[in-house]
Amino acid sequence: MTEIEKLIQRFKQAGAYVISNHNFKKEGLTVSAVIDASQLKTLAKDLYRQGYSLLDLSTLEVKEGFLLTYHFDKFEKPGRIALRVLLEGPGPIAPSLYEIFQGAEWHERESHDFFGVKFAGNPNLIPLLLPDDFQAPPPLRKNPESLTSLAALKLFGSYEILSSRWETIINSKVENIS
Amino acid sequence: MATPDPILSLPPGLEAAKSEVLPPLINIKPINWFFDLNRAMSLWPVTFGLACCAIEMMSVSMARFDMARFGAEVFRPSIRQADLMMVTGTVTRKLAPTVVRLYEQMPAPKYVMACGNCAISGGPFKFEGQYGVVEGVDQLLPVDVYVPGCPPRPEAILEGLFFIQEKLTSRRWWPKPQELPPDPAPAAKGKK
Ligand code: SF4
C-alpha cells in the first residue's frame, strides 16, 4: 500500500464525507478530504506524526457556510494534501490546531479577522491584521445574495462521496456562476 | 507647517498628532537664518519605511543617487535623533497610531515628507469600502512636502529634500537638472 492509499484509508476511517484524488501537476494537490470539524484535530495530529507541516489555512464563504481549507505538505518530497471543513449555520466555530501546529494560531487569527470564524482553543484570538479597535463587521463577509454554492466551485477532482448530505451539496444544480 | 485638513475625515478610532512646534526662544532673524541653514544642510531622516516606496528611499541613500551629497545621509534608527520623517509607503489603520506616536516623539524642528501616492492619498488602495488604509498621512501629521509617484523616482525624492531645504532657507541650493531633449515628433520619425 502506498503512502497515499494509507492516507485515504485513514481519512475514511475518520468518517470523511468526500475524498478526492487530484492531479498533482495540474492542481498542486494529491489528495483532499472533506471531514467533520470534530475529526480535524485527530487527523492533524496524525499528519504531524507522519512529518507533515501546516502550510496555510484559507477560508471561503459559500452559500452553505464557511469552507476552511487546511493545506499540509512535507519537506522531503512533493505531495500536498488538503483537509476541508465546512462550518454551517450562524456563529461558525472550528477547533484550533494551535496545540499541534503552533503557527496555526496566526492563520486562525487572520480567519477570525476577516470572516469572524471562531476557533475553540486558540489562546489569543485577537486581531492580527486589523486594528485592535476595529468595530465594523468582518470586512470580507459577502452579502448573502452574491454567494456561490460549493457545487459551482469545482473543488473536488475525481471524488468519492461517502455521505448523503454531501451528495446533495455536490450534485445540486448550479444556478449562478458570476 | 501645514495643518491637517479638517475636511478630510479620519477613520473612527484614530487621532491626528497634537504636538505643535513652538516659535524659537531667541527670535533674531539672522541667527535663525544661520541655524536654519545648518539644519537644512544636515537633515537627518529616520530609518522608517512602511511599504514598497521604502525601497526607493534605500536607493536614494545608496551610492548611485547618494543623498549624502546634500547632507541627509545619516539615517537614524531612533526618531529622537532625527528631524525628517519620510513617510514612505502605505499608512495602514493598524500602524497609524504608531506613526503618530513616532511623530510626536520627534524633537522639533521636524519635517515630514509624504513619499508616494499611498502616503499622499491612499494611492491604489483607495476604493469604496476599503477598511485598512488611512487615505493620506496628512490626515494624521502636518506634511511639508508631497512627492508623488508609485513609487517616486529617487530623483523625485531628492527634489523633495531640496524643497524642504528651500522651505528652511528660502532659496534653492542646487542646480536645476537639465531638461531632456524633446522627443522627435512622431511624424518626423515616420518620414525617415
Ligand atoms: S505609492 Fe505605490 S510604490 Fe509607494 S507604497 Fe504605495 S503602492 Fe507601494
Query: Considering only A75-79, A152-156, B101-105, B125-129, which range has the smallest mean pLDDT?
Result: A152-156
Transcribe A136-159 into DSSP letters.
SSPTTPPPGGGPPPHHHH---SEE
Tens digits of residue pLDDT in A113-149: 999 999 999 998 999 988 888 877 888 888 888 888 8
Q: Is the pTM of this model over 0.90?
A: no
Beta carbons of A131 and B93 less than 8 Å apart: yes
In this prediction, residue A79 has a pLDDT band, given cuts at 50, 70 and 90, of confident
Q: Is B132 on the interface with A (CB under 8 A)?
A: yes
Candidates 3.40.50.12280, 3.40.50.720, 3.40.50.1970, 3.30.2130.10; CATH matching B29-170: 3.40.50.12280
Q: Which residues of B touch A129 (CB under 8 A)?
A: 94, 132
Instruction: Say yes or no: CB of residue B150 within 6 Å of ligand 1.
Output: yes
Strand partners, B55: none
Q: Which of B12, B96, B97 lies closest to A135 in CB terms?
A: B12
Total number of domains constituting chain A? 1
CA A159-A165-A166 angle, to 5 degrees, is 20
Alpha helices of chain A — where are they, by DSSP H?
3-13, 24-27, 40-49, 104-115, 150-153, 164-171
Residue A172, domain member (yes or no): no
Domain of residue A42 covers 3-160
Tens digits of residue pLDDT in B26-85: 888 888 889 889 989 999 999 888 889 999 999 998 999 989 888 888 888 888 999 899
Q: Please answer whether residues B136 and B116 qualify as being in contact, where contact means their C-beta atoms are separated by less than 8 angstroms.
A: no
Tens digits of residue pLDDT in A82-106: 999 999 888 889 999 999 999 999 9
**pLDDT value at residue B1:** 47
Q: Is the pLDDT of residue A151 over 60?
A: yes
Q: How far apart are CA B109 and CA B107, in angstroms?
A: 6
Contact partners, residue B96, CB within 8 Å, separation at least 6: A131, B14, B134, B140
CA-based nearest residue in chain B for residue A131: B94
CATH of the domain at A133: 3.30.460.80
Q: Which residues of B touch A131 (CB under 8 A)?
A: 13, 93-94, 96-97
Q: What is the mean pLDDT of residues B19-31?
A: 82
Instruction: Say yes or no: CB of residue B126 within 6 Å of ligand 1.
Output: no
CA distances from B149 to B45, B48, B120 (A): 20, 18, 10
Q: What is the mean pLDDT of residues A60-73?
A: 92
The answer to whether the peptide bond before residue B109 is cis (omega within 30 degrees of 0) is: yes
3-class DSSP assignment, residue A28:
coil
Instruction: For residue B62, give the amino acid letter.
Output: M
Q: In the numeric block, which cell numbers belong to residue A5?
A: 492509499
**pLDDT value at residue A43:** 92
Q: In the numeric block, which cell numbers belong to residue A145?
A: 445574495
**pLDDT value at residue B8:** 55
User: How does the average pLDDT of chain B come out, rounded?
Assistant: 85
For residue B129, the distance in angstroms to the closest alpha carbon of chain A comes to 9
Residue A64, domain member (yes or no): yes
Tens digits of residue pLDDT in B89-106: 999 988 888 999 999 999
Q: Is B10 on the interface with A (CB under 8 A)?
A: no
Residue to substitute from A132, A134, A135, A143, interface B, most B β-carbons within 10 A:
A134
Q: How far apart are CA A102 and CA A48, in angstroms?
A: 12
Q: Which residues of B touch A130 (CB under 8 A)?
A: 93-94, 131-132
Residue A86, domain member (yes or no): yes
User: How does the average pLDDT of chain A come out, rounded?
Assistant: 87
Q: How far apart are CA A120 and CA A123, in angstroms?
A: 9
Q: Please answer whether residues B125 and B154 qualify as being in contact, where contact means their C-beta atoms are separated by less than 8 angstroms.
A: no
Sign of CA dihedral A139, B9, B143, B76: negative
Residue A171, domain member (yes or no): no
Beta carbons of B13 and A136 less than 8 Å apart: no
CA-based nearest residue in chain B for residue A132: B94
Residue A133, domain member (yes or no): yes
Q: Please answer whether residues A113 and A129 qualify as being in contact, where contact means their C-beta atoms are separated by less than 8 angstroms.
A: yes
**pLDDT value at residue A56:** 92
Q: Which residues of A touch B96 (CB under 8 A)?
A: 131
Counting one residue from A and one from B, how many pairs have CB atoms under 8 Å apart?
A: 21
Residue A173, domain member (yes or no): no
In this prediction, residue B6 has a pLDDT band, given cuts at 50, 70 and 90, of very low
